[in-house]
Copies of this chain bind each other. A is one copy, B any other.
Amino acid sequence: MAVYTEVGEAELSAFLTRYDVGRLLSYKGIAEGVENSNFLLRSEGGTFILTLYEKRVNRADLPFFVGLMEHLAGKGLSCPLPVQPREGDALGELAGRPAALFTFLEGMWSRRPTADQCGAVGKAMAGMHLAAADFPLQRANSLSVDAWRPLLDACGEDADRVEAGLCAEIAAELTELEANWPSDLPKGVIHADLFPDNVFFLQGELSGLIDFYFACNDVLAYDLAICLCAWCFEQDGAFNVTKGRALIEGYQSVRPLNAAERDALPILARGASVRFLLTRLYDWINTPANSFVTKKDPKEYLRKSRFHRQVRSLADYGVTMDFRTA
Q: How many copies altogether?
A: 2
Closest Cβ–Cβ distance, residue A294 to chain B (whole Å): 8
Q: What distance in Å separates the Cβ of A192 from its nearest Cβ neighbour in chain B?
A: 23
Contact A6 B289 (CB under 8 A): no
Interface check A290, CB cutoff 8 A? yes
Using a CB-CB cutoff of 8 Å, which residues 1-53 of chain A contact chain B?
1, 3, 6, 8-9, 23-32, 40, 42, 47
Per-position binary interface string of chain A over residues 288-306, scored 1 when its CB falls under 8 Å from any chain B CB and 0 otherwise = 0111111000000000000
- Say which one of A71-79, A108-116, A234-242 lies at the interface with B: A108-116
User: Does any Cβ of B come within 8 Å of A140's Cβ?
Assistant: no
Structural contact, B106 and A42, CB atoms closer than 8 A: yes
Let me know if A202 and B25 touch, CB within 8 A: yes
In the complex, A253 Cα to B25 Cα: how many Å?
28
Is B107 a contact of A25 with CB atoms below 8 Å? yes
Residue contact B24 to A108, C-beta cutoff 8 Å:
yes
**Residues of B contacting A8 with CB < 8 Å?**
111-112
Docked complex: A82-114 residues within 8 A CB-CB of B: 104-108, 110-112
Q: Give the distance in Å from the alpha carbon of A104 to the alpha carbon of B31 in the complex.
A: 18
Given A9-B111, A110-B9, A203 and B29 contact (CB-CB distance below 8 Å): no
Contacting pair B28 A32 (CB below 8 A): yes
Q: Number of contact residues on A: which range applies?
A: 35 or more
User: Which B residues are in CB contact (< 8 Å) with A104?
Assistant: 26
Q: Residue of B at shortest CB range from A49?
A: B28
Whole-angstrom distance between the alpha carbons of A24 and B6 in the complex?
Answer: 29
Q: How far is the CA of A9 from the CA of B201 in the complex (A)?
A: 10
- Taking the closest CB of chain B, its distance from the CB of A308, in whole angstroms, is 28
B28, B31, B32, B290: the one contacting A289 at CB < 8 Å is B290
Which of chain B's residues has its CB closest to A23's CB? B203
Q: How far is the CB of A8 from chain B (nearest CB, A)?
A: 5
How far is the CB of A141 from the nearest CB of chain B, in Å?
A: 29
Contact: B6 with A3, CB < 8 Å? no
Do A27 and B108 have beta carbons less than 8 Å apart?
yes
Residues of the B chain whose Cβ atoms lie less than 8 Å from the Cβ of A1 = 1, 3, 29, 31, 292
Closest to A28 in B: B30
Can you report 18 residue pairs joining A to B where beta carbons are below 8 Å apart? A1-B1, A6-B111, A8-B112, A9-B108, A9-B110, A9-B111, A23-B203, A25-B107, A26-B202, A28-B30, A29-B30, A29-B32, A31-B31, A40-B40, A42-B47, A289-B289, A290-B290, A291-B292
